[in-house]
Protein backbone atom coordinates (compact mmCIF):
# COMPACT_ATOMS: atom_id res chain seq x y z
CA UNK A 1 0.00 0.00 0.00
CA UNK A 2 1.43 3.34 -1.05
CA UNK A 3 -0.55 6.34 0.18
CA UNK A 4 0.66 9.82 -0.66
CA UNK A 5 0.23 12.50 1.99
CA UNK A 6 0.22 16.03 0.68
CA UNK A 7 1.66 19.16 2.28
CA UNK A 8 -1.87 20.55 2.47
CA UNK A 9 -3.06 17.51 4.44
CA UNK A 10 -0.17 17.82 6.88
CA UNK A 11 -0.78 21.56 7.34
CA UNK A 12 -4.52 20.98 7.92
CA UNK A 13 -3.76 18.34 10.54
CA UNK A 14 -1.08 20.46 12.22
CA UNK A 15 -3.46 23.43 12.48
CA UNK A 16 -5.88 21.39 14.62
CA UNK A 17 -3.30 19.51 16.69
CA UNK A 18 -3.21 20.03 20.45
CA UNK A 19 -0.01 19.94 22.52
CA UNK A 20 0.37 17.06 24.94
CA UNK A 21 2.92 15.42 27.18
CA UNK A 22 3.76 11.78 27.57
CA UNK A 23 5.47 10.16 30.53
CA UNK A 24 6.72 6.63 30.08
CA UNK A 25 7.09 4.89 33.43
CA UNK A 26 9.07 1.68 33.61
CA UNK A 27 9.69 -0.73 36.46
CA UNK A 28 13.32 -1.10 37.46
CA UNK A 29 15.06 -3.20 40.12
CA UNK A 30 14.71 -0.19 42.47
CA UNK A 31 10.93 -0.67 42.44
CA UNK A 32 11.26 -2.91 45.49
CA UNK A 33 13.09 -0.30 47.60
CA UNK A 34 11.42 1.31 50.62
CA UNK A 35 8.90 3.94 49.59
CA UNK A 36 8.62 2.82 45.97
CA UNK A 37 4.93 1.96 46.33
CA UNK A 38 4.14 5.49 47.55
CA UNK A 39 6.03 7.02 44.61
CA UNK A 40 4.20 4.79 42.14
CA UNK A 41 0.84 5.67 43.70
CA UNK A 42 1.63 9.39 43.45
CA UNK A 43 2.47 9.03 39.74
CA UNK A 44 -0.82 7.22 39.15
CA UNK A 45 -2.77 9.84 41.09
CA UNK A 46 -1.53 12.82 39.07
CA UNK A 47 -1.93 11.12 35.69
Residues ≥6 apart with Cβ < 8 Å to 43: 23, 25
| Amino acid 24: pLDDT | 85
Residues ≥6 apart with Cβ < 8 Å to 47: 23
| Amino acid 13: pLDDT | 92
Provide φ and ψ at 27, rounded to 5°.
-75, 140
pLDDT per position as a tens digit, 1-47: 678 999 999 999 999 999 888 888 788 887 788 888 888 888 888 75
Amino acid sequence: MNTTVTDEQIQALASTAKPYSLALLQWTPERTMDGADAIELEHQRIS
